[in-house]
Amino acid sequence: MTIDMITGKTKIYGIIGFPVHHSLSPIMQNMALHVAGIDGVYVPFAVAPDQLAEAVAGLRALQICGFNVTIPHKVAVMPLLDELAPTAVLAGAVNTVVNQSGRLIGHNTDGDGLIASIVNDLGCQVTGTRVVLIGAGGAARGALAALCRAEASSVVVVNRTLSSVETLLSSFASGFPKTKLRFSAFGEQLSEILPSTDLVINATSLGMAGEKIEGLALALLPDHAKVYDMVYNPAVTPLLRDACAYGLKAVNGFGMLVAQGERAFALWHTKPADSGVMRGALDAFLSSSAKA
């Protein structure tokens, strides 16, 4: 799609967030639209938190066909929509909105994106797996919902603020009998759990500014254990560096970013994005940015 190809029939999609200029979604969604031959464009919209209701009303009035929702609007957008899909209800957050004949339907593709990336990028099955999930914010909530749906055998949620974990776990307690849920503090209590853990997932923002996760002794993990860091920028966090030093297979959240985008695309266009197109677009963009 070039600017001279935009007509009255061109469908408009987008992403709302604040800030939104750093989002990589326009790169991958526009490339996927182009390759699929869809007459559409995907545009970033910076929406300040106190303007969210007006922005959603505007997107509705403009008949925008669909949009992604990113930080800090994933929870606040929920009451502004007409309907929530089960994925959004369970995750307690919306990252994708579909405009279905004027009705705005909220979905969550983050959780399924995470599971797809764990399977494809880490080579790890989730069903029957013993997981330590670090974090209790929005990303952790989506991850927990997806891990329960994928029937992990246990999930221990670890967080700096334990009261947030208790709140999080109380809403999941009875719905998933196949997944044993409990929480732990960092340090000694976690050290007793790590030797019987198959998969560690970081769902905190620790690592984005080069921070280590204190109180997580990776040396105690069994040799087969794997590490997933949802942070993808920087590509190599201290957690990933340490995991590699201990010989553990570990990946960043790049694959999750791509997989949630592919699922959003499929919801809007009722056909999947061509395989590998979004990942290829991001790889090309990031390598050209690194050279610049």
> b/e for 165-189, b at 16 or more Cβ within 10 A?
beebbeebeeebeebebebbebeee
Residue from 137, 215, 238, 280 touching ligand NAP (CB under 6 A): that is 137
Near ligand NAP by CB under 6 A: residue from 136, 144, 148, 221: 136
Q: Which is nearer to ligand NAP, 14 or 17 (CB)?
A: 17
CB nearer to ligand NAP: give 11 or 249: 249
Nearer to ligand NAP, 263 or 269 (CB): 263
How far apart are CB 203 and ligand NAP at their closest, in Å? 5
Judged by CB under 6 A, which of 31, 231, 278, 281 binds ligand NAP? 231
Question: Which secondary structure element, helix H or strand E, spans residue 238, and what is its range?
Answer: helix 238-245
Is the separation of the CB atoms in 199 and 228 below 8 Å? yes
User: Hey, which residues does 130 pair with through a beta bridge?
Assistant: 154
**Which of 94, 97, 230, 239: binder of ligand NAP (CB under 6 A)?**
230
* 154 is a site residue for ligand NAP (CB under 6 A): no
DSSP symbols for 184-234: E-TTHHHHHHGGG-SEEEE-SSTTTTS---TT--GGGS-TT-EEEE---SS
Least distance (Å) between residue 44 CB and ligand NAP: 16
Give the alpha-carbon dihedral of 74, 204, 108, 156, to 10 degrees. Answer: -130
Measured between alpha carbons, how far is 30 from 40 in angstroms, rounded to an integer? 8
How many residues touch ligand NAP (CB under 6 A)? 24
Q: Footprint of ligand NAP on residues 94-133 (CB under 6 A)?
A: 110
Catalytic residues: 74
Q: In terms of CB distance, is 190 or 256 closer to ligand NAP?
A: 256
Q: How many residues does the chain have?
A: 292
| 8 Å CB contact between 267 and 107 | yes
Does 140 contact ligand NAP by CB under 6 A? yes
State the CB neighbour count (10 A cutoff) for residue 125: 14
Shortest separation between residue 240's beta carbon and ligand NAP, angstroms: 13
Asked if 256 is part of the footprint of ligand NAP (rule: CB under 6 A), the reply reads: yes
